[in-house]
Amino acid sequence: MGMRSSEEEDARLLTPLREVAPGEDTTVSVERAITAGRRKQRGRRLGGACAVAVVVALVAAVLPGIVRSWNDPGELTVTSAPAEFDVLHQRFTAGSAGGFAPYAYETGRYRQRMDLKLAGTADPSAPVAAIALYARGQVPDVGGRQWDPGTGTPAPAVGDHRAVYLGAPVLGADRTELAWEWADGAWAFASVPSAEPDAKAKAHHVAESVAVDTNPPVRVPFTIIAPENERLLGVVTPASAATDQTAARLVLGTAAEPRATMEVGLSAPVAYPANSVVDGRPAIVDGTSATILDVGGHRSAKASTNDSRKYAVEQVKALVASLRLTGSIADSRTWAENPLR
Q: What is the pLDDT of residues 83-140, one digit of tens each?
A: 999 999 999 999 999 999 999 999 999 999 999 999 888 777 777 999 999 999 999 9
Q: What angle do CA 162, 165, 171 make, to 5 degrees?
A: 110
Q: How far apart are CA 304 and CA 323, in angstroms?
A: 13
Residues 6 or more apart from 150 whose CB is under 8 A from it?
none
- CA dihedral defined by 80, 82, 86, 87, rounded to 10 degrees? 110
Tell whether the model's pLDDT for residue 25 goes beyond 80: no
pLDDT band (50, 70, 90) for residue 297: very high
Q: What is the pLDDT of residues 59-92, one digit of tens each?
A: 333 333 323 323 333 444 446 789 999 999 999 9
* Residue range 295-317: mean pLDDT, rounded: 96
Q: What architecture is domain 222-334?
A: 2-Layer Sandwich (3.30)
* Residue range 39-66: mean pLDDT, rounded: 40
The pTM score is 0.75
pLDDT at position 79 is: 61
- Say which residue, 172 or 9, is predicted with more confidence: 172
Question: Lowest mean pLDDT: which of 14-18, 21-25, 321-325?
Answer: 14-18
Q: What is the pLDDT of residues 178-188, one digit of tens each?
A: 999 999 999 99
* Residue range 242-271: mean pLDDT, rounded: 91
For the chain, the domains span 8-16+81-208, 30-71, 222-334
pLDDT at position 17 is: 23
Q: How far apart are CA 25 and CA 46, in angstroms?
A: 36
pLDDT at position 252 is: 97
- Say which residue, 191 or 65, is predicted with more confidence: 191
Q: What is the pLDDT of residues 226-251, one digit of tens each?
A: 899 999 999 999 998 777 888 999 99
Q: How far is CA 135 from CA 152, 153, 186, in A?
A: 20, 22, 6
